[in-house]
Amino acid sequence: DARVTQTPRHKVTEMGQEVTMRCQPILGHNTVFWYRQTMMQGLELLAYFRNRAPLDDSGMPKDRFSAEMPDATLATLKIQPSEPRDSAVYFCASLARDSPTDTQYFGPGTRLTVL
């Protein structure tokens, strides 16, 4: 049963520290999204990749967030330096094709707490 995996599942860190979250999309999927979920804002799109190329990161605070896909099996989201307001659940989702009718498969998420 193919699934999106994310590590770590939980992360507690102190303000100012670097945080790296990893995502392994479903094998063969060519599109990857990063989302942030909070109670107040709901699901916010942070970044979007197709065939490993970044297409849209307009939802990301540029000064501290960065997203990359070093290869087809790994997407990373980094926060440096982290701040308490970054506390949220970060989801990665992958799709077989970059099409509006394709289903997004979400990973289990990384629950980040910044103290």
Q: Which residues bind another protein (CB under 8 A)?
A: 31, 33, 42-43, 45, 48, 50, 55-56, 91, 93, 95, 97-109
Cβ-based neighbour number of residue 57 at 10 Å = 17
Adjacency order of strands within the sheet including 19-24: 5-7, 19-24, 74-79, 65-71
Instruction: Name which of 78 and 111 has its Cβ closer to another protein.
Output: 111
Least spacing, CB of residue 43 vs another protein, in Å:
4
Alpha carbon distance 53, 44 (integer Å): 20
Nearest to 2 by CA among 73, 53, 71: 73
SS3 84: helix
Least spacing, CB of residue 103 vs another protein, in Å:
5
Least spacing, CB of residue 46 vs another protein, in Å:
12
Instruction: Name which of 81 and 108 has its Cβ closer to another protein.
Output: 108
Instruction: Name which of 68 and 98 has its Cβ closer to another protein.
Output: 98
